[in-house]
Amino acid sequence: MKKKGLLAMFERFSSGQFPQFKSLWTEDKETSHEPGLQTTSTAAPEAAMPVILNDNPNGIAVGLDVGSSKVVAVIGRLDTNRQIEVLGIGEALSEGLTRGSVSNLTKTTTAIKEALAAASKTTNLEINQVIANYSGVCNNLDQRGVIIREDMIRDIRAEDIIRLKKEMEGNPYPAGEQIVYLEPQHFIIDDEPDIRDPIGMSGQLFESDFHVITGEVTALSNLHKCVRQAGSGIKTIYPTAIASAEAVVCEEEKEEGIAVIDIGAAVTSIVVYKSGIMRYANTILLGGNSITADIKQFTGLSNKQAELLKKTYGSVLPEYSDPAEIIQYKILNGTKDRFISKVDLALIIQSRMEELIGAAYNDIVQALNGRSLTCGIVFTGGDSALQNLRKLGEQITGLKCHAGTPILHLKTDLFGARFAEKLNNPVYATSIGLLKMGLTKLV
């Protein structure tokens, strides 16, 4: 019988012999002091006056992922080839969100402030504006917007689409809800339907069928408050899964049909694309914390220990675990050794993960309304790192599944030495996607 000492691992962890198990917090503080982080051409010396970053000057933007377990701020710009170049990252532990929304203003503000300060420090840019995410529950609606253009000969420009979008804000929405995001499905110009790209065309009656995502007014207002109190403003908010998709999915996949399932700590965010159009985005109030809680209940471990056990040995498929592999552990203040097999651990995780993927898949099927999802499902978020998730996803949905890492869409040569390894992780999909939206979305 092979024994693995969880306690021994904790000891190595706290003594620094096990660098990969250092907490996000510790890692952030350490890496931000690495001399290598100050060496790119964009990093100004310590004493230099910070450049104030307001409204995307010099094509720089900041993605701010306000998550339930961590807040991440990523600063970046587009290079001459329009590739995203990350200039700095700041992170902080987050303890002020419940069910994807702010439940403690002070804790959330503090976390945002710390993440922004850390990102600011590595780049010497003062952050006044961010692109942030909304992880609350959404409503999905299809609505038509109409404007009449006074000069029908003038080319249709981005401003006309912005005007159309503004018109939509005046529509009635369910009580307590407001638009978080809306995307034109197609345009209609003077009764000519199914126009995908209206820019440059002429016309008087300009219409669009929008897919509208609404969210809770109070949740959005609290998010704005926290960012404001942290010293910044929010330029745009995107639903979490839309941001994550932006980081890991390409336009061709959106055309063929693809869904992203972002499994975070407290929530699972979903988005579905088909024929190049976003069809559905929502949040399920179930995430990796529930898996950790199940492990905690079964083993008697503390939350922190259960989380470490999950991250170190967790798999979602017991049949791929060796029944002979037994993990030895001690509960807090416990004297006796306890044991759990890797198979039993996987059984606990599998049951909750099946519930989670099953719920997400139900939403996806409804959103597709009989249409196919040729490119299958991409998993992002922290719990997507669990072993064999792709296989379990395929068993449940019958679709191709894979893990999404944001590195695919990032420039790796210049900043590679600084950030590539760190960013090659599905937990950064949301923040990188937000950054990408900030840099590339005009309307």
What does the binding site for ligand ATP look like in residue numbers (CB under 6 A)? 67-70, 100, 135, 264-267, 287-289, 292, 307, 310-311, 314, 381-383, 385-386, 427
Q: Which residues pair with 315 in a beta bridge?
A: 387
**DSSP β-ladder status, 258-263 and 377-380:** parallel
Q: Is 333 exposed, middle or buried (0-12, 13-18, 19+ CB in 10 A)?
A: exposed
Report the first-to-last Cα separation within the chain, whole angstroms: 60
Task: Look at residue 437 and give its three-state secondary structure.
Answer: helix
Smallest separation (angstroms) from Mg ion to the CB of 240: 6
Q: Which is nearer to ligand ATP, 188 or 401 (CB)?
A: 401
Question: Considering the rule CB under 5 A, would residue 100 count as an interface residue with Mg ion?
Answer: no
User: How far apart, in whole angstroms, are the C-alpha atoms of residue 251 and residue 342?
Assistant: 40
Question: Considering the rule CB under 5 A, would residue 96 count as an interface residue with Mg ion?
Answer: no
Q: Which residues pair with 217 in a beta bridge?
A: none
Question: Considering the rule CB under 5 A, would residue 404 count as an interface residue with Mg ion?
Answer: no
Assigned token pair, 63: 């993605």
Question: Considering the rule CB under 5 A, would residue 88 count as an interface residue with Mg ion?
Answer: no
Smallest separation (angstroms) from Mg ion to the CB of 249: 16
Other residues' Cβ atoms within 10 Å of the Cβ of residue 177: 19
Smallest separation (angstroms) from Mg ion to the CB of 365: 23
Assigned token pair, 263: 């499994």
Q: Given candidates 61, 64, 67, 73, which one binds Mg ion under the rule CB under 5 A? A: 67
Q: Which of ligand ATP, Mg ion, none lies near 287, with the C-beta cut-off 5 to 8 A by kind?
A: ligand ATP
Smallest separation (angstroms) from Mg ion to the CB of 67: 4
Smallest separation (angstroms) from ligand ATP to the CB of 361: 19
Assigned token pair, 238: 């995107």
Task: Look at residue 201 and give its three-state secondary structure.
Answer: coil
Q: Which is nearer to ligand ATP, 98 or 372 (CB)?
A: 98
Smallest separation (angstroms) from ligand ATP to the CB of 308: 9
Q: Which of ligand ATP, Mg ion, none lies near 307, with the C-beta cut-off 5 to 8 A by kind?
A: ligand ATP
Q: Please, where are the H alpha helices in 65-215?
A: 105-123, 158-169
Q: Which residues bind Mg ion (CB under 5 A)?
A: 67, 264
